[in-house]
Amino acid sequence: MKSIADIKAIRDKMQSQIIMRDNNTSDEIRVVVGMATCGISAGARPVFNTLIDEVAKRNLSNVKVSRTGCLGMCKLEPIVEVFVPNQEKVTYCKVDAEKARNIIANHIVNGNVCTEYLISGKEL
């Protein structure tokens, strides 16, 4: 059994993640992870957790990381979609934890799409 202090620390960490996911502003960047059965079995859960951790680590208050169901391209899972206001949606495929860190660093922080992770004709 954990101590009361440990349990409170876990609660505080989870509450900050919930607040971060529920923030709602006009300049909000949304990062959506496909978390249906196909995505989870392909490794979407560690990708989702990495995205949450990176956003928290960098204190990106205008970034909301959320889950969605099947995105319809099961063989390309895990899929991450990035919605930046006034820009076209970007869809990344076959994302792992390392790619997730790069997406946050390059796309979210620096504004440079990680073109090497995009869907190309050969995956289809």
- CATH number, residue 113: 3.40.30.10
Query: Any idea what the Cα angle at residue 66 is, between residues 22 and 76, rounded to 5°?
Result: 170
Whether 122 is covered by a domain: the verdict is: no
pLDDT, one tens digit per residue, over 13-35 is 776 666 555 555 568 999 999 99
- The tokens for 75 are 């063989």
Q: Is residue 66 part of a domain?
A: yes
Domain membership flag for residue 18: yes
Residue 124 in domain: no
74 exposure class (CB count in 10 Å sphere: 0-12, 13-18, 19+): middle
| DSSP-assigned states of every residue in 43-98 | THHHHHHHHHHHHHHTT-TTEEEEEES--S-GGG-S-EEEE-TTS--EEE-S--HH
Burial class (CB in 10 A: 0-12, 13-18, 19+), 77: buried
In a domain, 58, yes or no: yes
**Percentage of the chain with pLDDT > 70?**
85
For residue 122, what pLDDT is reported?
56
| Percent of the chain whose pLDDT exceeds 90 | 69
Domain span including residue 40: 4-117
What's the pLDDT score for residue 16? Answer: 64
Residue 71 is predicted with a pLDDT of 87
The pTM of this model reads 0.76
Query: Within a domain: residue 54?
Result: yes
Q: How many domains does the chain have?
A: 1
Cα separation, 52 vs 43, whole angstroms: 15
> Does the residue 81 lie in any domain?
yes
64 belongs to a structural domain: yes
Nearest to 52 by CA among 22, 92, 72, 27: 22
67-121 residue pLDDT tens: 999 988 999 999 999 999 999 999 999 999 999 999 999 999 999 999 999 986 5
**CB under 8 Å to 25, separation ≥6 — which residues?**
62
